[in-house]
Amino acid sequence: MITSQHEGLTKLATLDLGHIAQGLRALFDLRIPDTGEARLASPDLSEAVPAVCRADGALLYGEDGDKLGVIIETQRGQDDDKHYSWLEYIANFRAREKCQVVLTVICPDRRIARWAAKPIETGHPGLVLNPLVIGPDNTPLITDVAEALGNIGLAVISAVTKSQDPLIKEVLSTLDAALGKIDQKLAGRYGQYIYVSLTGVAQKEWGNLMAMQTHSYQGDFAESLLAEGEAKGEAKGEAKGKAEEGAKMLQMLLEARGIEVSEEVRARITSCMDTAVLEEWFQRALTADCAEQVFG
């Protein structure tokens, strides 16, 4: 089952292709081409219909004969079927783009990271798949703002994989300060996806930082989650579209924080057509301990 945490972490890894390239170079010493424009590739790696072969994310760097494909997978649980589909992803992407392809698996959980890192024997002599795993054991603990600024892509991923570390509050505070120094629209998007990618104490700490309003991007934090709905609503000239999307994002936030959403609460959220009210509820939901506190 795809969760908001799963989606958030995948978004972090595909939000800014330059940032993630920096992170991959630092972790695995990958030779990622600088030629041409980096772009998102279709994660649909199916070869034939009706068979479906879809990765969480796919990136393409370089151009012409100097290209590198990067498949992004997010794993929060063990799934042995991936030992068969991952090789298919690589083969199909390689055939489609006529380039070399690497598989990167992001695992916030140490046990799952160890499972994902195990060599996969394909049966063909000499053909063994060794996934490039990003997990708690091979990501740095970044507590220096300059270091975080020097590699934002690695800093945001590390903050999630190090969420159980005793120094996580210092890590998140450092990342918050670093995001305050980059493009604020991009920082707002990072703030959104970091939040839904974290769980437990780390998620609550990040929510507290966002509520402090120290940096301008924090003020845009809730708005960034409502932006897609607003854009769709404006394009259609319908306020209803904005409110529906806002209600959806509010419910996603509550579920990501582990707050029970009863049928009564869900009905109250979905029946609200005022985006300003929804945004106010969203701000409260960042630090609320129960659904009742969201409504004031």
Distances (CA, A) of 29 to 24, 32, 132, 138: 7, 9, 11, 13
**Residue 244: predicted pLDDT:** 82
Helix (H, G, I), strand (E, B) or coil at 238: coil
Distance CA 130, CA 118 (A): 7
Continuous segment of H or E residues that includes residue 60: strand 57-63
Tens-binned pLDDT, residue by residue, of the chain (296 aa): 557 778 888 889 999 999 999 999 999 999 999 888 899 998 887 654 445 678 999 999 999 889 999 999 999 999 999 999 999 999 999 999 999 999 999 999 999 999 999 999 999 999 999 999 999 999 999 999 999 999 999 999 999 999 999 999 999 999 999 999 999 989 998 998 999 899 899 999 998 898 887 888 887 666 655 555 555 445 444 557 777 878 888 888 888 888 888 888 888 998 888 888 888 898 888 888 888 899 87
Distances (CA, A) of 150 to 40, 72, 180, 217, 239: 23, 22, 14, 19, 41
Distance CA 279, CA 291 (A): 15
Distance CA 154, CA 141 (A): 10
Distances (CA, A) of 12 to 17, 160, 191, 192, 195: 10, 10, 9, 9, 10
**Residue 220: predicted pLDDT:** 66
pTM of the model: 0.73
**Residue 135: predicted pLDDT:** 97
